[in-house]
Amino acid sequence: MRKTFILIIVILTTQIGFTQNDKKAVKTSKAVLELIKQKNYTEFLSSFEDSIRIRIEDYQKKFGADYIQKTVDGLNASLSHAEIDFKNFNKKMVVPIEGKTKLDYVTYQFPLGGEKDGKDYFETAFLSKNDFTRIYSVNIIKVQRMPKASVTYGAENEIIPEPGEVIKENYENTGFIKKVKYRDFTHLITVDFDKEQNKTRETKFPLDNLTFKSIVAYHKNGNIRLITNYNNGIVTGNFTKFYENGKIRESGFYNDGMSKDGVWAYFDKDGKLEKTENYKDGNLISTE
């Protein structure tokens, strides 16, 4: 049975006397906010922990070189010149349920608009093992809007967790985990399990487009079964199926009209290429 990594959140009250780390966190948060306002994309990226910066650079490779620019511009738009209260913050410590790890982190929520009403926050997080001079994450939290997110095909009717929060669904008859839901810097992530607690599927929804989802499905032996994307309920982009032994079964590309496009390759269970098909907008052009 696979163990599922679950997080718990310990919520601390608003700080009256700041600790040394609190002072560092506030100073760093103010500096990051200024980088956002100034649209200083390079320094903004440099303000992250090395491991997170590398992850963001990977996102840039996947989603375009302007990924960090779009992120900063999006944060700017969400700020809407709102006043931010750096004195009356909420603080959350996030630790594994099985004990401390190197990824324990502390989240600071600074009220937007000067009102600590539990609705809108400028939020930063820091790895608790480090010196609070570089951030683990940054976000603008619009709590009122997020639960109202409504889409046709995607994360419809989903309650979006706060950063660091994990929502679980259990099987009624056994109490075993059925689904785990959480979010990272850019995505809502859901992980599904069967009744034997094998992971069956992991789905990622971009927080700025909940109608789009990337799916990785698994065989019972833990090997990947399928990798694909759906946009508003329609399969799109790269599509790859795998045999239970981990070898690729077929691979190709779907255009936005859910039609096969370009070269599709088909393999046997030993990984040997059996044939290729060439498509143009869903029409088979040639076979080799």
Mean pLDDT along residues 157-183 = 87
Domain of 121, CATH number, reads 3.10.450.590
Q: Which pLDDT score is estimated for 33?
A: 93
Domain co-membership, 186 together with 250: yes
Please state the rounded mean pLDDT for residues 21-32.
93
Residue 43's pLDDT is what? 93
pLDDT of residue 280: 80
Same domain, 91 and 192: no
* pLDDT at residue 72, rounded to an integer: 87
**Position 12, amino acid:** L
Q: Summarize the confidence of residues 95-114 as an average pLDDT.
A: 70
Whether residue 111 is contained in a domain is answered as yes
β-bridge partners, 275? 266
Residue 148, phi then psi, degrees to nearest 5 = -90, 0
Range ranked top by mean pLDDT from 2-6, 146-150, 254-258: 254-258
End-to-end C-alpha distance for the chain, whole angstroms = 43
**pLDDT over 80 (residue 263):** yes
- For the ranges 6-20, 47-61, 140-154, 165-179, the one whose mean pLDDT is highest: 165-179
E strands, 207-268, in order? 212-218, 224-231, 234-242, 248-254, 260-267
Predicted local distance difference test score (pLDDT) of residue 18: 66
Total structural domains within the chain: 2
Distance CA 52, CA 71 (A): 14
Q: What is the pLDDT of residues 119-168, one digit of tens each?
A: 688 889 898 888 899 998 888 876 544 444 344 467 766 788 888 889 99
Average pLDDT, the chain: 81
- The answer to the question of residue 203 being in a domain is yes
Residue 48: predicted pLDDT: 92
Print the domain residue range for 197: 157-287
Task: Specify the pTM.
Answer: 0.47
